[in-house]
Structure 1
Amino acid sequence: MGVNAENGFLGYTRVKDSTSISEAYVALSHNVKGDVQTISAGEDLTYKITFENTTDVPIRNWRLRAKLSGELYDLSTLVPSNASFDASTNTLTWTPSGLPDLRVLEAGEKGSVEYKISLKDRVPVNSPDDKNYTVQSKASFESDEIPAELGVNKVVESNISEVKMHTKFFASSTKNYNSNISSIVNSGPNPPQINKRTTYTIKWEADNLTNTVSGVKFQTSLPPNVEWTGQTETGGGDLTYKEGSRVVTWTIDSIPPHTGFLNPTQRAVFQVAITPPPNTESRMQLLKPTSYEATDVFTNKQFQGTLERLRVPLAQ
């Protein structure tokens, strides 16, 4: 790509997250510091713009701009660093008055500016199109006093700097005796009593906000004196129990965005039974800690965590 000049075609090259311009009057680059490619809601981004006069003449009366695109920027957190900000266009503007050391950009002279902004904590999800969010920023440099003999455009633009936003993945593990989310019926005294059998349902749930996640897996094992009854219900995926290892596993190939928000929660329910032996402590463990994992398909972020063990108090 390039621009037409009086003496021919002036070419320049584009590079992701920055622009290197050859034979133009300013070399301009615009990057996220730390080479950040992905981000979570509520986190900060710091951008850096560098510019260099590549001509043999000074540049005066210049303006440097950065335009923010995307509804996820929290504009109240913007730290403009000597720039003015136009909220109607989401544009920061630097001029020589804000950077007096660079009032005149001499031949070969370089300058740089930074600005910082956070993403919103709450991500809007109102329609099926609210997914795979990105935030973008683009810089431009211009001067009204470029000598005509240079034969270049007065406005030099960087490419679009784009950062992808991670989804939010939610996992939970709960116990129920009476519940309207399953047709499984429990029985026995509640709270449990010594030497008497009581059944409970264990509920695993997964919600997912803005990007598809894949390779979803929940896994735990049953403690001693806890029985697998074989009663199960799932809204998707495979729920298995291995008798020898007493391991319970729920796997789902993928969960689409908006699950638990615009679409139903993904859920697996299974029943266990306990018969508290004599000398049992005041609380009996129903389920050991549950591990979970998933991968954001859009950003490749790995989600991993552990949910607390489940216990039930015994009758006094």
Structure 2
Amino acid sequence: MSLYEIKNKLYKREKNEKPPQLGQTGFDPRFAPIDIARKSFSKEDAWIVEAEQSRLAKRKIWRTGFTIAGGLILFILLLLGFLKFRQTSFSQDRVEVSLSGPQETLSGKSLTYEIKYKNNNRTTLKNAILKISFPKNFIPENNPEFSPEGAGSLTLNLGNIAGKKEGAVEFKGKIFSPKGSLIYLKAEINYTPSSLGGQFISQNQLSVAVQSSPVKLEISAPQNLANDDAIDYQISYQNNGEKEITGMKVKMEYPEGFVFTKAEPLNSEGNDFWRIGTLAPGQNGKIVISGKLSGVRNYIRTAKAYIGIMDGEDFVIYDEENIETRIIGSPLIIRQVVNGRDNLNVNLGELLRFEIRFRNDGEIGLRDVIITEKLEGEALDYASLKLEKGAFNPDSKIITWKASDYEDLKKFEPGQEGLVKFSVKIKESLPIEKSSDKNFIISSLAKIDSQDVPTFIEENKIISGNRMDMKINSEIVLETTGYYYDSVIENYGPIPPEVGKETTYAIHWKISNALNDLSEAKVKAVIPTGATVTEMKNPQDAVLHYTFNERTNNLVWEIGNIESGAGILNSPREVVFQVKIKPSPEQVSLAVNLVGETVFSAKDLFTGEEIRFFGNKKTTSLKEDAKLEKNYKVQPAE
């Protein structure tokens, strides 16, 4: 459309309409100069064009805006629809895991449990892994499709679980736990939904109550006990099941204030473990543990006993029991010491000097006080017993002191104290005839009583006592011998030895041990200057360390453990090594030193003592070598 046509359209008059009459002005183009008229007409045309273009641009903008808004709304609707689809295709709540099986059982009975899983989603669960967790007293068995994952768990790779699919697996095992125990089995599935990223876990658990155990355990002890008095814990056990049980052990957990003395049978690991081994159906046994118990008046001391088996490093409990003992008070106090100590280990042949002190801590005088001392131990030489006063009963091994011996005992006043003494010697040796002849103990139990000591309705009569248990240290013999004419190692060189020439000798170290087992045993010796140790030894696997430098010249025999009875019930521990000498002129007419100061050291596993003693030196004067005779002095060089 031309500008003229636009103008006519905008200013079109109605038919017969007359234009308004205007006066002549300078703005009328008819009367204005030509250049002014043209100029005015151009501005008017530009305004008309600009208005039309603006209207068209606004229409285009609105059309574009509506298009974009519509597209955005459509995108949002599609996105919401997609998210809604994904949301409805997977929900963790629609993955089900369940366990089914016995919820009540007998300890030791074989059990089978079923684990069901179901995917109620539309999406697939990728890389699904089933994990079963259980406590240490559940022992899995016959589950070849599962793989162990550390202690207390098994895993099974289920792969991918498609939507609307389900499955089930079984696993088996036994529970070993005391009656009344409650354990939990847990099943969980770890998976990744194909429609989502990240891992999810769905899980469930099942509780199982133990109604009874095939092994019955009981423990007994006094309900009331005076402070620092002797106590015995008796443990009884029996297999009430229909099958034998192997690898059984009994474990004891002692109360605070208990001091272990001995056990029958002997404990096999420390003072708190006993190996029972195999228990046949109906088989039973008993353990008696002796010691003393101390504590504040009216305090309760609790001891616990367990029976079970070892599973790796874990102790799996079949049954457990506990017993409580209350510490009660007494107006009479009694204490004893031996050789000035209230806790000691002793040696064969040692003299024991006993002092028993007693006191009335009550508020009233006590009449006719009696003091007794009961001695136990086959190691005591009762013939050596020496008493200042009192009487000894050789049958009961009890010493008794009464008012007829000490007048103060007739009426023992509040705060009054007293003292009695005696001595007895330990035998020089003890018979060792079997492997159980070891771990010897000497026990002494001092008691004080009076007819005026009160008796309570709920308690027995309170008698104060004090017990001492003295363990006897092991008896070790180290024998050092030497030979030129030896049956084990062949020696060489001139006899008698000559200046400037090498001569060798065989040295034997032989160890015998009685009474207790030893550990960390070794023999250390200084090899004198001028002598050296060769590589010859017997047995070949003997651990001999020879260190030579300008300051030290040491030989160490690392022995390790030595059982009680070595050298008595069986062969002694022995090593043979060879020493070489090359005499110098100043040694002419003298015996040459072969082995210097020898030291034996070990740890006594029963008493806990660190044992250390010195052995003899050895020279070329070897009286034990009968063939050598007097040919031991160095001769001049020929």
When the two structures are superposed, what TM-score results if normalisation uses the length of structure 1?
A: 0.82
Q: CA deviation at 1:67?
A: 0.3
Corresponding position of 2:427: 120
Distance 1:153 1:57, change over 3 A: farther
Instruction: Tell me which moved more, 73-82 or 276-285.
Output: 276-285
Separation (CA, whole Å) in 1 of partners of 2:455 and 2:227: 23
Is 1:200 aligned with 2:505? yes
In the superposition, relative to structure 1, how do residues 142 and 248 fare at CA in structure 2: closer, same or farther (>3 Å)?
closer
Change (3 A) 1:175 1:49: same
Q: Give the Cα–Cα distance (whole angstroms) in 2 for the partners of residues 148 and 164 of structure 1.
A: 35
Question: In structure 2, what is the Cα distance between the partners aligned to 1:212 and 1:56?
Answer: 50
1:27 to 312, 315, 333: 333
Report deviation, 1:94. 0.6
Contact 2:587–2:634 (CA<8 Å) still a contact in 1?
A: no
Provide the C-alpha distance between the structure 2 equivalents of 1:278 and 1:111, rounded to a whole number of angstroms: 72
Match of residue 253 from structure 1: 560
Amino acid at match of 2:612: F
Residue 511 (structure 2) pairs with residue 214 (structure 1): no
In 1, Cα distance between equivalents of 2:526 and 2:361 = 66
Q: Where in structure 2 are the equivalents of 1:145-294 lying within 5 Å?
A: 153-154=460-461, 156-180=463-487, 182=488, 184-234=489-539, 237-242=542-547, 244=549, 246-278=553-585, 280-283=587-590, 284-294=592-602
For residues 111-153 of structure 1, what are the alpha-carbon distances to aligned partners after superposition, in whole Å with 9 as ceiling and x for unaligned?
3322222211223322211212111011222334556789864
> Any conservation in 1 of the 2:342–2:468 contact (CA below 8 Å)?
no
Cα distance change, pair 279–164 in 1 and its aligned pair in 2 (3 A): closer
Map Cα deviations across residues 25-67 of structure 1 (whole Å, 9 max, x no partner).
4233334333341111121222233333344443223322110
User: Using the alignment, how far apart are the partners of 1:235 and 1:77 within structure 2?
Assistant: 48
Contact 1:82-1:98 at 8 Å conserved across structures = yes
Higher helix share: 2
Q: Are the structure 2 counterparts of residues 149 and 197 from structure 1 closer, same or farther at C-alpha, using a change threshold of 3 Å?
A: closer
How far apart are the structure 1 equivalents of 2:437 and 2:510? Answer: 22
SS at match of 2:471: strand
Higher RCO (C-alpha 8 Å, min separation 6): 1
Note if contact 2:333-2:358 (Cα within 8 Å) is conserved in structure 1: yes
* CA distance in 2 between partners of 1:62 and 1:289 (Å): 57
1:304 equivalenced with 2:610 (yes/no): no
Cα drift, residue 261 of structure 1: 1.7
Q: Which amino acid aligns with 1:123?
A: L
Count, aligned residues: 307
With 93-102 and 211-220 compared, the bigger mean Cα shift is at 211-220
Asked if the contact 1:53–1:109 (Cα under 8 Å) also holds between the matched residues in 2, the reply is yes
Q: Does the aligned pair in 2 maintain the 1:19–1:28 contact within 8 Å?
A: no
Paired residue secondary structure (1:135): strand
Q: 1:42 to 1:236 in 2, by over 3 A?
A: farther
1:258 match: secondary structure? coil
Render the CA deviation track for 1:195-244: whole Å, top value 9, x for unaligned. 44432111122222212223222233444543543110138751133455
On the 8 A contact 1:202/1:271 being kept in 2, the answer is yes
> Within 2, Cα distance between the matches of 1:202 and 1:147?
70
In 1: Cα distance, 2:428 partner to 2:572 partner:
22
TM-score when scaled to structure 2?
Answer: 0.43
- Matched AA of 1:46: R
Q: 1:12 offset after TM fit, Å?
A: 4.5
Give the AA of the match of 1:72: A
Offset of residue 19 of structure 1? 6.5
Post-superposition CA distance 1:237-287 (Å, at most 9, x none) = 511334556532211122121222222111111123334455642122333
Gapped regions of structure 1 (runs ≥ 5): 4-10
Q: Which residue of 2 aligns with 1:75?
A: 382
Aligned Cα root-mean-square deviation (Å): 3.1
Larger deviation, residues 117-126 vs 27-36: 27-36
In 1, Cα distance between the equivalents of 2:421 and 2:532?
61
Q: Is the 8 A contact 2:370 2:409 kept in 1?
A: no
| Closer, same or farther: CA 143–205 of 1 in aligned 2, 3 Å | same
Give the C-alpha shift of residue 159 in structure 1. 4.0
Which of the pair is proportionally richer in strand?
1
Q: Distance in 2 between matches of 1:296 and 1:147?
A: 45
| Aligned residue runs from structure 1 range 26-45, under 5 A | 26-32=332-338, 33-45=340-352
Q: Please, which runs of 5 or more residues in structure 2 have no aligned partner?
A: 1-221, 229-256, 260-291, 298-327, 622-631
Does residue 13 of the first structure (1) align with residue 215 of the second (2)? no
Secondary structure of 2:505's counterpart equals: strand
Report which stretch shifted further, 150-159 or 71-80: 150-159
- Counterparts of 1:41-52 in structure 2 under 5 Å? 41-52=348-359
Deviations 1:40-98 (A, max 9, x none): 11212222333333444432233221100111111122222311000011100011010
Classify 1:54/1:195 alpha carbon distance in 2 versus 1 (closer, same or farther; 3 Å): closer
> Given that residues 500 and 584 in structure 2 are in contact (C-alpha distance below 8 angstroms), is that contact kept between their aligned partners in structure 1?
yes
Relative to structure 2, which stretch is displaced further, 74-83 or 212-221?
Answer: 212-221
Answering whether residue 382 of structure 2 is matched by residue 63 of structure 1, we say no
Paired residues of 1:241 and 1:248 also in contact (CA < 8 A): yes
Distance of aligned partners of 1:28 and 1:290 in 2 relative to their CA distance in 1, 3 Å threshold? closer
Cα distance change of structure 1 residues 150 and 52 upon mapping to structure 2, 3 Å threshold: farther
Q: Is the 8 A contact 1:205 1:265 kept in 2?
A: yes
CA distance in structure 1 between the aligned counterparts of 2:528 and 2:416, rounded to whole angstroms: 70
Does the 8 Å contact 2:226/2:462 carry over to 1? no
Instruction: Name the aligned partner's letter for residue 546 of structure 2.
Output: Y
Find the residue that maps to 1:101 and give its secondary structure: helix
- The structure with the largest alpha-carbon Rg is 2
Matched residue SS, 1:39: coil
Residue 599 of structure 2 aligns with an amino acid whose one-letter code is S
